[in-house]
Amino acid sequence: MTSNLGSDRIQEIANNRSFDSINVDGSRDEEGQNENRYQAMKDAVMDVVTRHFRPEFINRIDEVVVFHPLAAGQIMGIADIQLELLRKRLAERDLRLDLSPRVMERLAEAGFDPVYGARPLKRAITQMIENPLAQNVLSNKFAPGETISADLVGDKIVFTSHR
């Protein structure tokens, strides 16, 4: 099971510069600060969990894993995985899909929430890509063998096709 309990605390700790440490030579102690930050995150989450759930339930949980906040690049990677499913469905109609980097950035921005992580991403892809694209496909705007390109024009995603 997954939960977002304590995600607000994870964000606070992730952005807390007091965990940053510097080695004697002036370099960043990435390993040490990451361990300290992760332990602080886990402690904060467990504090929220113990206040939220009864001890009888908590004792049935084998292990708690606290995930680090997602970065923009990771959100785009998740978006790419989700879009691959759409690309496969389009391939069944002999259509290809190409999204510009600006569209990918817009999807990542719309589909990410610091508290909910990447969960809103699927909804953003559906609303911003799948639904408008489906309307265009159903109205025969695109022919088999074409590549559908999506780009950002102003703040709107525009679909065009080419062979």
Q: What is the pLDDT of residue 66?
A: 80
Q: What is the pLDDT of residue 41?
A: 85
Give the residues across from 117 on adjacent strands. Answer: 113
**Considering Cα of 155, then 151, then 81, then 145, what sign does the dihedral take?**
positive
Report how many helices (DSSP H) and strands (DSSP E) the chain contains, helices first.
Answer: 7, 3
- Contact assessment for residue 157 and residue 106, using Cβ atoms and an 8 Å cutoff: yes
CB neighbour burial string for 70-99, b if at least 16 within 10 angstroms, e if fewer: beeeebbebbeebbeebeeebeeeebebeb
Give the residues across from 99 on adjacent strands. Answer: 150
Q: What is the pLDDT of residue 10?
A: 81
What domains sit in the chain, N to C, each tagged with a CATH number? 7-58 (no CATH), 72-162 (1.10.8.60)
Which stretch of DSSP H or E encloses residue 148? strand 147-153
**Could you give the CA distance from residue 79 to residue 123 in angstroms, rounded to a whole number?**
11
**Could you give the CA distance from residue 75 to residue 117 in angstroms, rounded to a whole number?**
9
pLDDT in tens, the chain (163 residues): 777 788 888 878 877 766 655 554 555 555 545 777 788 888 988 899 999 999 999 999 888 888 777 777 888 899 999 999 999 999 999 999 999 999 999 999 898 877 677 888 999 999 999 999 999 999 999 999 999 999 999 999 999 998 8
Does pTM top 0.75 for this prediction? Answer: no
Q: What is the DSSP letter of 142?
A: S
Q: What is the pLDDT of residue 141?
A: 94
